[in-house]
C-alpha cells in the first residue's frame, strides 16, 4: 500500500538572514570609508575664488573648531605652538606653514597664529576650498 503525502515539497529561498548580512556590509563599508584616510583632521575650510599650490617644504598647522592645534597630525598646545614652530624653522629654514583653520573660528584666532609666524619670520599661508566646491 502506497502512502501519499498531503504536502508537496516547494523549493524556497531562505531570506531571514539577508537583512543582517546587508546591515553588516553597510557597516563595513562605512567603517572602511572612514578609515581610508585616518590622518586627516576634518575641518570646514573657508572659501576662496582661486587656489594656489606651493612646491616648497610644507608643514600643515590645523586648527579645529574647538581650538585644538595640530602640527601635521601631532597635537600641540597653543602655549607650545611658538616653540614647536621655532624648532621646525631651525630644522628647515625655508619651510612654509599651511594653516588649515576651521571656518567657524574668529579672525582673532587666525591673527594670533599668523602673528606667531610673523615673529619667527616663517612664511604662512591659509588653506581654503574653492567656492562652489566641497
SS3 content of the chain, % helix, strand, coil (to 5): 35, 20, 50
CATH class of 47-130: alpha beta
Predicted confidence at residue 131, as pLDDT, reads: 75
pTM value is: 0.57
Task: Provide the percentage of residues in the chain whose pLDDT is more than 70.
Answer: 81
Predicted confidence at residue 133, as pLDDT, reads: 53
Q: pLDDT higher for 98 or 32?
A: 98
Domain locations in the chain as residue ranges: 47-130
Average pLDDT over every residue of 114-128: 88
The CA–CA distances, whole Å, from 77 to 39, 71, 82, 119 equal 19, 10, 10, 18
pLDDT tens-digit series, residues 59-70: 899 999 999 999
Could you tell me if 87 and 120 are in contact, meaning their C-beta atoms sit under 8 angstroms apart?
A: no
Predicted confidence at residue 11, as pLDDT, reads: 81
Is residue 5 pLDDT above 80, yes or no?
Answer: no
Amino acid at each position: 500500500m502506497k502512502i501519499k503525502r498531503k504536502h508537496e515539497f516547494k523549493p524556497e529561498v531562505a531570506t531571514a538572514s539577508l537583512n543582517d548580512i546587508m546591515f553588516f556590509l553597510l557597516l563595513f563599508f562605512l567603517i572602511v570609508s572612514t578609515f581610508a584616510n585616518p590622518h586627516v583632521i576634518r575641518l570646514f575650510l573657508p572659501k576662496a575664488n582661486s587656489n594656489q599650490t606651493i612646491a616648497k617644504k610644507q608643514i600643515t598647522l590645523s586648527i579645529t573648531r574647538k581650538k585644538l592645534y595640530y602640527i601635521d597630525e601631532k597635537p600641540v598646545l597653543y602655549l607650545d605652538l611658538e616653540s614647536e614652530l621655532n624648532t621646525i624653522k631651525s630644522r628647515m629654514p625655508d619651510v612654509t606653514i599651511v594653516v588649515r583653520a576651521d571656518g567657524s573660528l574668529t579672525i582673532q584666532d587666525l591673527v594670533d597664529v599668523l602673528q606667531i609666524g610673523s615673529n619667527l619670520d616663517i612664511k604662512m599661508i591659509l588653506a581654503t576650498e574653492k567656492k562652489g566646491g566641497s
